[in-house]
Amino acid sequence: MNKKKNQENASNKFIPFITTYNQSNKQFQQILKKHWHILRKDKDLSKDLSDIPRIIYKKPQTLKQILAPSCIPVKQHKNIKTFFSQDNNGFFSCKNCKACRTCKPKDKKIFSFKSNVTNEKFDIKCFINCNSSNVIYLLECPCKLQYIGRTGRNLKTRIREHINNIRKGVSTHSVSAHFKSHHNSDPSLLTFTGITKKMTHWRGSNIINQISREETFWIHKLKTLTPKGLNIEIDLKCFLTD
């Protein structure tokens, strides 16, 4: 009895692969087992992966759920731009908060951003300002190294924390540590841009999980992991839960 319980506890330490059941599951399972050794070699994932893949299948949607969902999807309306509206896409700095006064953004309106590694350019597809919350933001230093971060609070509060950490020469965060060793702990050399944000669903949602996934996506897309950038890790566990 105790032996069986110990085996269950040991297996629960590992991260399972959760997917929806479908007709291709058998073929998918064979492919996953064949290439499982590749994931096992990853230094960050290996400690959380079992010797063989643990797959958990979720029940697929029924025809009733597809045709008559309990939650009606929110209809996306096209932005109508007027003189008074704030529906213009882009990052609009206020120029008045501590973050703006210290970092002095180059432009009050920023409509796009790019990866300094690949030079690929991306448009900002939502309205973001210093008071926006649930934002994914981009930091950049004079070395052109970039950092992707996220915040559930308003953007100016999070940037203010980065500024304070840089001034204090905090060595436990990659951004402030870099500024301490390369830029004399001068926060005025930092630039920041809000690049996207997530909206909470009217029925409620795990917004922290959503912005964590978005942060991981942009870290990968902009290639900001060290040594090419200032991010030192990515969060993959946010993709394992809804």
CA distance linking residue 138 with residue 140, whole number of Å: 7
Q: Among 105-109, 153-157, 217-221, whose mean pLDDT is lowest? A: 105-109
The pLDDT score that the predictor gives to residue 242 is: 61
The pLDDT score that the predictor gives to residue 13 is: 63
User: What average pLDDT does this structure show over 98-104?
Assistant: 88
CA distance linking residue 196 with residue 46, whole number of Å: 31
Which amino acid appears at position 210 of this protein? Q
Q: Which residue ranges make up each domain of the chain? A: 12-67, 90-239
User: What average pLDDT does this structure show over 45-51?
Assistant: 79
Q: Can you give the length of the chain in residues?
A: 242
The pLDDT score that the predictor gives to residue 73 is: 61
Write down the mean pLDDT value for the chain: 84
Confidence grade of residue 19 (pLDDT, cut at 50, 70, 90) = confident
CA distance linking residue 239 with residue 212, whole number of Å: 9
User: What average pLDDT does this structure show over 84-108?
Assistant: 81
Q: CB of 187 within 8 A of CB of 102? A: yes
Give the three-state DSSP class for 130.
Answer: coil
170-210 residue pLDDT tens: 999 999 999 999 999 999 999 999 999 998 766 666 788 88
User: What average pLDDT does this structure show over 23-42?
Assistant: 86
Q: Supply 29's token pair.
A: 């399972």
User: What average pLDDT does this structure show over 144-158?
Assistant: 95
pTM of the entire structure?
0.72
Q: Indicate the CATH number for domain 90-239.
A: 3.40.1440
